[in-house]
Amino acid sequence: MSTKPAQGHAEIIGAGISGLTVATALGQRGWSVRLHERDSEIRAIGAGIYVWGNGLRALKALGLHDEAVVGAHIGPVLESRDHRNRVVESIPINSAGRPEVRTIMRDRLISTLVKGAEAAGVEIVTGSEVTVSGSDGALVNVDGESVGGGADVVIAADGVRSRVRDRFGLTVCHDHMKQGATRLTVPRSDDFVPAADRDKYIEYFSGRRRVLYTPSSATALYVALVADESDTAASKVPVDTDTWVRSFPHLETLLRSLDGVPARWDTFEFLKLRSWSHGRVALIGDAAHAQPPYLGQGGGCAMMNALGLADALSAPGAGPVEGRLAAWEAAERPLIEHTQQWSYRLRLLNLIPDAPRSSLLGLTGRWKGLGASRMRAALAVPTGADRFDGAAA
Where residue 18 sits, what CATH number does that domain have? 3.50.50.60
Q: Is residue 372 part of a domain?
A: no
- Domain annotation covers residue 219: no
Residue 87 lies in a domain: no
What average pLDDT does the segment 36-63 reach?
92
Confidence of residue 192 (pLDDT cuts 50, 70, 90): very high
Indicate whether 2 pLDDT > 60: no
Confidence of residue 387 (pLDDT cuts 50, 70, 90): low
Does a structural domain hold residue 359? no
Exposure string of 175-191, with b = 16+ CB inside 10 Å and e = fewer, is eeebbbbbbbbeebeee
Identity at 37, one-letter amino acid code: E
Residue 328 lies in a domain: yes
Q: Confirm whether 2 is domain-assigned.
A: no
**How many domains would you assign to the chain?**
1
Q: Are strands 281-283 and 139-141 parallel, antiparallel or unpaired?
A: unpaired
Identify the domain containing residue 116 by its residue range: 9-72+104-175+270-348+381-392
> Using CA atoms, how far apart are residues 52 and 342, in angstroms rounded to an integer?
16
Residue 247 within a domain: no
| Helix boundaries (H) for the chain | 17-28, 53-61, 65-68, 106-119, 163-168, 241-247, 252-256, 286-289, 298-314, 321-345, 354-366, 368-374
- What does the pLDDT read at residue 391? 43
Pairing of β 264-273 and β 277-278: unpaired
The pLDDT of residue 364 = 73
Q: Average pLDDT of the chain? A: 93
